Amino acid sequence: MITAAQKPREEIFAMIRSYREAQRPRDFLQCLTVGCGGCASICMAGGQREILGLNEQLTEMARSAKVPVRFSSVTVERQCNPQFLEDIEDMVRDSDCLLSCACGAGAQHLGDRYADKPVFPALNTLFLGVDVDTGLYEERCRACKSCVLGQTAGICPLTRCSKGVLNGPCGGTRADGTCEVGNGIPCAWSSIYERMKNQGRLAEILEIKPPMDWREKGQGVLVQAGFEARYGRAGRG
Amino acid sequence: MILQIRRSPYNTRAPRACTLEPYPVRKKEARVSALERREHWLAKPRLPGLVFLFLLLGMACAGAPQTDATTSASRAASADATSSATKSPGPHRAITSVLYDAAQGPALRLCLLAAGLGILYRAWQFRRLTRALHRQPFARSAASRAARVPSAREVRRAATSHPVMKTASFSFHLFLFLVPLLLPAHNLILHRSLHVSLPSIPSPIADWLTMVVVALGAFFLARRILVPRVRVLSTAYDYAVLLLVLGPFVTGLMAYHHVSSSPWLMIAHVASADLLLLAVPFTKLGHMPFLIFSRFFVSGEYAWRQGRRAWGGSA
Amino acid sequence: MEAGQTGVGRQRVNGSTASAIVMHRIGRVLQRNRQMITLSLQACAHCALCAESCFKYVHSGRDPRFSPSYKAINTIGKIFRKKGRLSESEYQAVSSLAWESCALCMRCYCPVGISIPSLIACARSVCRERGIFPR
């Protein structure tokens, strides 16, 4: 699930304030805060509850800075799916700018759909993570497009190793099993070793994995299996 | 050989190292203070179930049949019993006073016992449905450290419930428990049987609070009938339980104000209180112990403290 | 389950055919979650305080059929009471409640502490066993 965190309130307010000062369509600026009921809600960054609190605080900041901005809110099921963005068309028409509380994908999608209104992101998208506990989320995946979890006993070396090395520890593991980088980060390759040993697959750790192919750095497109007839194949050129 | 969890020798301020093994982790290592937690005044461990049982046991002491009448209610009851005796001597008098003594004595004790056992059963069920959480320390990267931490006020501010409903519910439940415990009439009975009593509030105030309880109950009834999102959920069961809860309070009010001289009023009062006690663990009134258990023990967004358990136990 | 399969026991359940294996699997799902479902549905005070915390309820113009307690009671409550033996149209209604009315964003606020998403997730599992999936 995509994990995101809210930007500092001051940063959000500065974006809206500079837009207001640049353009004055009427005597106040109507800003619509759009929440997301998907990943942003689950990681408690951009759900209905959060955008209500955000609007309260932004209204307070606007009042004290004497910037005439009004905030309204709506939460859609997901901002990454076009059908859910159709419901709010009338609200967007009455607003001057949009504040998107979804991940980067959702914020861009909102901007694609309603291209004549500026879309300001309220969240910093952090990573693909798991819910360890309520309010605690840990990164597990970096979407590198070539998953090696099968060879590393389910621990992603790209994400959980500070250097992202693919073939064994770098030699900087400290005596207690933490990474030499510090902060108590466990050495991923120590843990991979332990787990492979527990699973009886220690011989496989000696197989060398080729380096990651970072050539395809452009925008990723996926045509899922079975839909090639509908959309053609995805590929370069 | 699993990596030992040891304090890092290089940086004493860093959180302890951990393996990437999933839980279960040995219990004493799970108590790590490196985790962020919302400090809450309820964060100290409490035993709300035992507190609840203690309250019930306190009311159990009212179970002894009284010998001479000094409270207004019991005076009224015995006066009514004797007056009805002069009106219709013989079997009628025996029945009402026998019923009254039974309702106040053995029946009350039985219902309290059943209620206590029922709550313990619910607690056991609840424990079976949850599993202990074993938390591991985690390393914070620079990016997540820079993320803005919401203030405590913001965290608590939520669309949880309407302020009117919140106040009504809180005061209803507060007086629901306080009034029977602090009523002078009940405390006199308690004193007679166990020679201890809780402090009492003056009778006029108790009278007023009972009226508040009944008024709030009427508010809940109106809400159940008029508000659409509650009406769509309501069944006859909900209305019946609400009337059951209000029963002791209404009959108590009527007895205090001597509305009727019939001895059946006091019998109705004690019998409805018995039924209410019996109903607590076995009907939707069990939402009260469930609330205490889940808010104290289950980790979640609205938990009152960090929470040591999570949903998902052995079936 | 295709009609042409052999060796699979069938039984008519409320006018619709569902193989015995499917009903057995549904029974296992319900049995595994039996305590959680009964305790949650019994503890539900029908107070509807969860409604305001559901963004779908708010977004639909406060339609009471989107309140989380309504969704839970009318999906898993119905399934559990009838032990999984619902008709095809009832299963369609349950699945539309479980998938279209609920995003499983896990933010519902129950003052009592009932885990409503667990109940909806259980209802979804039962519908999946039955062969009904979100469109």
In this structure, what CATH number is given to the domain that contains residue A106?
A: 3.40.50
Q: Which residues pair with A35 in a beta bridge?
A: A75, A101
Identify the domain containing residue C115 by its residue range.
14-129
For residue A73, what is the enclosing H or E element? strand A69-76
Q: Which residue of C has its CA nearest to B235?
A: C46
Report CB contact under 8 Å: C115, B311: yes
* DSSP states of C67-81: SHHHHHIIIIIHHHH
pLDDT, tens digit, 9 for 90 and up, residues B181-201:
999 988 888 888 778 888 888
Give domain status of residue C95, yes or no: yes
Other CB atoms within a 10 A radius of the CB of residue A99 amount to: 28
Chain A / chain B CB contacts < 8 angstroms:
99
**pLDDT per residue as tens digits for the range A82-113:** 888 988 888 898 899 999 999 999 999 999 99
Contacts of C63 in chain A (CB under 8 A): none
Q: How confident is the model at residue B141 (pLDDT cuts 50, 70, 90)?
A: low
In chain C, what residues touch A49 (CB-CB under 8 Å)? 53, 107
Q: How many CB atoms lie within 10 A of CB B303?
A: 20
- Disruptive mutation site among A51, A176, A179, A181 for chain B (greatest number of B CBs within 10 Å): A176
Query: In angstroms, how far is the first alpha carbon of chain C from the final one?
Result: 18
Q: Do B234 and C34 touch (CB under 8 A)?
A: no
Task: Tell me if chain C has a CB within 8 Å of the CB of A52.
Answer: no
CB < 8 Å to C117, chain A: none
Say whether B8 and A49 touch across the interface (CB within 8 A). no
CA distances from C59 to A77, A91, A95, C77, C98 (A): 9, 12, 17, 25, 17
| Contact residues on chain A for B14, CB-CB shorter than 8 A | 178, 182-184
Q: What residue in A sits closest to B5 (Cα-Cα)?
A: A176
**CA distance, residue B260 to nearest chain A CA (Å):** 52
Nearest chain C residue to A91 by CA: give it.
C59
Write down the pLDDT at residue A86.
87
**Segments forming the whole domain that contains residue A190:** 144-206
Q: Residue C6 domain-assigned?
A: no
Asked if the structure places residue C92 within a domain, the reply is yes
Q: Distance from A205 to chain C by nearest Cα, in Å?
A: 38
CB of C105 within 8 Å of any CB in chain A?
Answer: yes
pLDDT greater than 70 at residue C120: yes
Decide if pLDDT at B45 tops 60: no
Q: Give residue B297's pLDDT band: very low, low, confident or very high (50, 70, 90).
A: confident
Beta bridge partners of A6: A123
C52 vs B: CB within 8 A: yes
Residue A220 lies in a domain: no
Nearest Cα to Cα of residue B32 among B118, B161, B133: B133
Instruction: Say yes or no for a CB contact (<8 Å) between C106 and A42.
Output: yes
Alpha-carbon gap: B303 to the closest alpha carbon of chain C (Å): 8
The span from the CA of C102 to the CA of C134, in Å, is 12
Distance from the C101 Cα atom to the nearest Cα atom in chain A, whole angstroms: 10
Instruction: Give the model's confidence band at B102: pLDDT under 50 very low, under 70 low, under 90 confident, else very high.
Output: confident
> Which candidate from A132, A134, A177 shows the least CB-CB separation from B301?
A134
- Cβ neighbours of C105 in A, within 8 Å: 37-38, 41-42, 47
* Tokens 């694609």, located at residue: A112
In a domain, A234, yes or no: no
User: Looking at the structure, do residues A20 and A79 belong to the same domain, yes or no?
Assistant: yes
Phi, psi (degrees; rounded to nearest 5) at B191: -65, -35
Q: Which helix (H) or strand (E) segment is A132 a member of?
A: strand A123-133
Three-class SS state of C86: coil
State which amino acid sits at residue B304.
W
- The answer to whether residue C1 is domain-embedded is no
Both A114 and A156 in one domain: the answer is no
The residue type at B142: A
User: Average pLDDT, stretch C103-132?
Assistant: 91
The residue with tokens 């009972």 is: B210
Residues of A with CB under 8 A from a CB of B: 5-9, 44, 48-49, 52-53, 56-57, 124, 126, 132-136, 138, 155, 160, 174-178, 182-186, 188, 190-191, 194-195
Partners of A77 on chain C (C-beta within 8 Å) are 56, 103
The pLDDT of B1-15, averaged and rounded, is 37
Kindly report the nearest CA distance between residue A74 and chain C, in angstroms: 7
Interface partners of A (3+ CB pairs, < 8 Å)? B, C
| A176 to B17: CB separation less than 8 angstroms, yes or no | yes
Q: Does residue A202 belong to any structural domain of this protein? A: yes
Chain A closest-CA separation from residue C1 CA (Å): 22
C135 lies in a domain? no
Return the closest-CA partner of residue C9 out of C1, C27, C21. C21
pLDDT score, position C116: 94
Residue B127's pLDDT is 85
In a domain, C66, yes or no: yes
Give the strand pairing for A123-133 and A119-121: unpaired
In DSSP terms, which residues pair with A107 in a beta bridge? none
* Cα Rg of chain B, angstroms: 26
C12 phi and psi angles, rounded to 5 deg: -80, 120
Per-residue pLDDT tens over the stretch B226-277: 999 999 999 999 999 999 999 999 999 999 998 888 888 988 999 999 999 9
Residue B234, domain CATH: 1.20.950
State the pLDDT confidence band at B142, using cuts at 50, 70 and 90: low
Q: A94 and A35, same structural domain?
A: yes
pLDDT at A210: 87
Do A27 and A98 sit in the same domain of this protein? yes
pLDDT recorded at residue B78 = 46
Distance to chain A for B124, nearest Cα, Å: 24
Q: B275: domain range? A: 47-128+161-308
Does A73 share its domain with A184?
A: no
Which candidate from A7, A126, A184 shows the least CB-CB separation from B144?
Answer: A126
Query: Does B67 score more than 90 pLDDT?
Result: no
CA separation for the pair B311, B294 (Å, rounded) = 9
Instruction: Count how many domains chain C has.
Output: 1
Same domain for A89 and A193: no
Q: How far is A146 from chain C (nearest CA, A)?
A: 29
3-state secondary structure chain B: CCCCCCCCCCCCCCCCCCCCCCCCCCHHHHCCCCCCCCCCCCCCCCCHHHHHHHHHHHHHHHHCCCCCCCCHHHHHHHHHHHHHHHHCCCHHHHHHHHHHHHHHCHHHHHHHHHHHHHHHHHHHHHHHHEEECCCCCCCCCHHHHHCCCCCHHHHHCCCCCCHHHHHHHHHHHHHHHHHHHHCHHHHHHHHHHHCCCCCCCCHHHHHHHHHHHHHHHHHHHHHHHHCHHHHCCCCHHHHHHHHHHHHHHHHHHHHHCCCCCCCHHHHHHHHHHHHHHHHHHHCHHHHHHHHHHHHHHECCCCCCCCCCEEECCCC
Residue C60 lies in a domain: yes
Q: Please report whether residue C58 resides in a domain.
A: yes
pLDDT bracket for residue C6 (50, 70, 90): very low
Residue B91 lies inside a defined structural domain of this protein:
yes
Whether residue A180 sits in one domain with residue A150: yes
**How many structural domains are present in chain A?**
2
* pTM: predicted TM-score of the whole model, two decimal places: 0.75
User: Is B3 part of a structural domain of the chain?
Assistant: no
Higher-pLDDT residue of B65 and A225 is: A225
User: What is the CATH number for C23?
Assistant: 1.10.1060
Tokens of C118: 């667990």
Whether B144 has its CB under 8 Å from any CB of chain A: the answer is yes
Tell me which residues of chain A have a pLDDT lower than 50: 236-237
Res B137: pLDDT: 64
Least-confidence region, from A25-29, B1-5, B77-81, B273-277:
B1-5
Q: Given A9, A49, A57, which is nearest B158 (Cβ)?
A: A49
- Residue B119: inside a domain, yes or no? yes
